[in-house]
A and B are shown apart, each in its own frame.
Chain A
Amino acid sequence: MITLEVNRIPYKVDVTPGTPLLWALRDHLKLHGTKYGCGIEQCGACTVHVNGRAVRSCGITVGEVAGKKITTIEGLSPDSTHPVQKAWIEVDVPQCGYCQSGMIMATAALLERNANPSDQDIDRTVTNICRCGTYNQVREAIHRAAQIKEGA
């Protein structure tokens, strides 16, 4: 049994320490908002926060994150009112939506470190893959989220 603190709740999870965090979240804790896309940290669909930093949960093991604070899309806000979620709704970003949890989590972590990211900052940081082609709306929503976060 390994104890994981996810969205401020401690869980006991019956997995081997080498299990990727992604699969503990999805199959054991039934937190399905975090998605599997590639398993090799390329696509970002599985992005969560570990101690406030964006991490691709397919590439980090349960053993590595035990005792750390993990946040998934389900824990970003209780009612979809995180500035990034608000901006996403305002711009109406998603198409199929499968990559969007990861996009939102990557953006939320970015804004914690950089309140007003430039386009270059966004290019460098939000490297998630979207196959529906929402990128320009993602960019717009990131800028909008920065404004909302600053109270605009």
Chain B
Amino acid sequence: MKIVQLNRREFLKSSALAGGGLILGLSGLPKLAQAGAGSALPPYLRIAPDGGIHLGVPSAEMGQGIHTTLAMLLAEELEVEMSQIHHIETLHHPDFKHPTFREWTNSKLNVQMTGGSVSIRAWHLPFRKLGATARELLRTAATRQWNVPVAECRAVNGRIEHSGTGRSLGYGELAGAASRLTPPENPPLKSPEQFRLLGRDIPRWDTPAKVNGTAIFGTDVDLPGMLYGTVKHCVVFGEKLTGVDDTRAMAVPGVIAIIPLEDQAVVVADSTWAAMQGAKALTLHSSGGHKDLSDENIFQQFRSDLAKAGVPVAHRGDPATAMGKAVQVLELEYEAPMQAHAAMEPLCATASVTPDACEVWAPTQSSDFAMMMAMGVTELSPEKIKVHTTYLGGGFGRKSEYDFITAPLVASMALGKPVKITWTREEDTRHDFYRPPFLVNMKFGLNSRGIPEGLNVKLVGPAVSRRWQMPPPWLEENGYDWAVTIGMFDGYNLPNRTPDLSKAYVIPNLQVDFVPSDIQVPTGAWRSIGSSHNTFALESGLDEVAHAGSHDPFELRRKLLTHNPRALAVLDRAAELASWGKPPESRFQGMGYTDYLETYQVQVIEVSVSKRGKITVHKITCVADCGQVFNSHIARQQLEGGILYGLTAALKGEINVQNGQIVQSNFDDYQMLKLKDTPEINVHLMESHEPPGGLGEAGTPLIGPAVANAVFAATGKRVRRLPIRPKDLV
């Protein structure tokens, strides 16, 4: 049996995405396109004759409420109620290449992508402007019809009204005329005092479909004549398939084909269950692979690489002198193990490939990456390929990858029918792009008052963004990778940029270096990327510094943030709301602070720990200044959800590698937080008119150190590796 060889590097080279010049054309947009050519409005905003708004948006909806918030931003300016938004979909469109990723990479990473907590930050103004543009076009259309001055016409609730005569026309009646006008360059935007919708708890647009089973996720795509399949990977990382024994698999009723690829086989059948049974019965023959790989030797490698010179990440003052003068040097080492993403919806995608057309339906965080994969596999030109983004049953960074797009494309090409591929939970757990394991070494130089005057940090672990590189390269050759350094005095500081330390803790002399230490396990973006390990190390480390210098952890943070009024306000509010320093009987408190993604945030945790080391988290107080908030319900959901995602990683399982393969496979051996484990969570959002900060990931990195600090208060035992294991506390 011939093994289909797919050369990913060749895809990248052949992809027009590489040059950033991909023009997909508008052929794929009949659903949303305005009737008639020469429309003034872009094809992703359509006002139907019944006045209903049909909206295409750049961002994938993966639970973060982005469809709702973008629609609110548009509806606010367009002067319509949310009930008039009849349709929202994530649309693949050249206008939707992400401006923030472009900005971070000198325009080199030019893709439509949802991630990095930057959807609202990038799109809030464009979507308000889109709504305002449409509103002004509709007003002008009405004034021309009535032959009255524009100033006498106003937009109200989906209609244009003329003040003098009381006449009015619905948007649906005006849309045709409006679409033939020239759009204004700078339509006026409303001031915050005029907002009807923004800032309020507007119900999510997607909730009705999510409570009656009609929401379409990637797993729910259904096409006429469709076949079903699943994948089975070589278990050891780096193994390549040499052949398969498919006698037993082909004997499973319903199994239609086995298609071997480089490192996996695709099993196609007349139902998903038959395909999964077929995969179970299939024997893979393979060669190579990193069979000696284990957690132990990964961390041994990190320890020996710690001695290497790193790549500079951040620098301030004169750290060498400051460390020399220090009265006490506190050397602390923190470790973070791997974690899987474990989205509730396992990886899946559907493709329909014919000799001259290709369609892909996927729960993808990047329709451009899916497009790239489709171009690579089918060798069709981009105008012949359409990518549809379904709802995502969770993404968390995993679905920004494109490995799961391959199998349906190959299978559909091979079999001439649409194919839906659904991974088993076991494959999903064992073939992830994991949160990278990391070793963080910190040396705090304290003065006689116990205040840190110097800090040397070394981060040792794999660079993760190099895999997302496409030509032209946008990462420095020296191995610097913002995706793993962020959170350690490093924001999104890309090549040739000077880290902005103006908001960070005032430690006057510091040096942060990153030692790239690649491992043979695929690693990637896991909700909050580098901040996950860096915030754990830094916030736990500061707690150690506080205790070493007999400072209250809250007071020490206040001292180090006196130059940052937003941080101080958040700290003070959190201390007040959580009654910092006055926990209830037999409970203990811990705290942490972060400015991840320009969301200034404090979490205060209340725990108790039993004699056997069982940790109970009773209460979490989260105070955040995330700038302007457009939907406070969704904002709180994001912080609370992020906190529970991080709490699972702090208290529950971890991903281990032994003999070159992942030990865990499903929710029985990789356990998740459940309802019974969920503490009371109070999220308080500060009133702010600053530009919006990121929220999708912000809650995640802080909860681990805040809990660990509370556990220290309760037990005197310092947790320097997550998850916290009860056996380490007794």
Contacts and interface: CB of A to CB of B under 8 A. Distances in A.
A70 interface: no
Contacts of A113: none
Nearest to B68: A92
A32 B668 contact: no
Nearest to A103: B675
B640 A129 contact: no
Contacts of A98: 217, 343-345, 393-394
A133 interface: yes
Given A20-B273, A36-B346, A85-B211, A92 B204 contact: yes
Contact of A96 (B392, B425, B680): B392
Contact of A94 (B207, B276, B681): B207
Contact of A39 (B424, B675, B681): B424
A74 B666 contact: no
Contacts of A95: 63-65, 637, 641
A40 B668 contact: yes
B215 A97 contact: yes
A20 B271 CA distance: 12
Contacts of A65: none
B467 interface: no
Interface residues of A, number: 59
Instruction: Name which of A93, A128, A129 has the most chain B CB atoms within 10 A of its CB.
Output: A129
B534 interface: no
B408 to A, nearest CB: 15
Interface residues of B, number: 62
B342 interface: yes
B684 to A, nearest CB: 15
Instruction: Name which of B422, B633, B643, B675 has the most chain A CB atoms within 10 A of its CB.
Output: B675
Contacts of A97: 63, 206, 209-210, 215, 217, 391, 393
Given A32-B222, A96-B63, A134-B641, A37 B346 contact: yes
A97 B206 CA distance: 9
A134 B276 CA distance: 30
A109 interface: no
B396 A131 contact: yes
Nearest to B679: A136
B347 to A, nearest CB: 12
Nearest to B641: A133
Contact of A100 (B210, B346, B392): B210
Interface string A79-116: 01000010011001111111111001000000000000
B439 to A, nearest CB: 27
A85 B212 CA distance: 8
Contact of B207 (A28, A89, A130, A133): A89
Nearest to B667: A42
A43 B344 contact: yes
B645 A38 contact: no
A89 B219 contact: no
Contacts of B633: 92
A19 interface: yes
Contacts of A63: none
Given A32-B222, A101-B213, A138-B675, A133 B644 contact: yes
A124 B672 CA distance: 15
B670 to A, nearest CB: 10
B668 A42 contact: yes
A38 B343 CA distance: 11
A96 B203 contact: no
B685 to A, nearest CB: 16
Contacts of A139: 675, 678
Given A32-B222, A42-B666, A45-B344, A132 B213 contact: no
B611 interface: no
Contacts of A123: 675-676
Nearest to B645: A133
Interface string A33-60: 1111111101101000000000000000
A27 B211 contact: no
B211 A94 contact: yes
Given A32-B222, A133-B640, A94 B271 contact: no
B272 interface: yes
A37 B220 contact: no
A27 B422 CA distance: 12
A30 interface: yes
B329 interface: no
B127 interface: no
Instruction: Name which of A27, A96, A100 has the most chain B CB atoms within 10 A of its CB.
Output: A96
A80 B212 CA distance: 6
Given A31-B213, A96-B345, A122 B204 contact: no
Contact of A126 (B201, B216, B675): B675
Given A42-B668, A132-B344, 13 more contacts: A26-B219, A31-B213, A34-B213, A35-B217, A36-B346, A38-B666, A40-B666, A42-B666, A76-B212, A88-B211, A96-B62, A131-B342, A131-B396
19 contacts: A19-B273, A23-B273, A37-B344, A37-B346, A72-B213, A74-B212, A74-B214, A80-B208, A88-B211, A89-B211, A95-B641, A96-B63, A97-B63, A104-B211, A129-B344, A131-B648, A133-B643, A135-B644, A135-B678
Interface of B: 62-65, 201, 203-204, 206-217, 219-220, 222, 228, 253, 271-273, 276, 342-346, 391-396, 422, 424-425, 633, 637, 640-645, 648, 666-668, 672-676, 678, 680-681
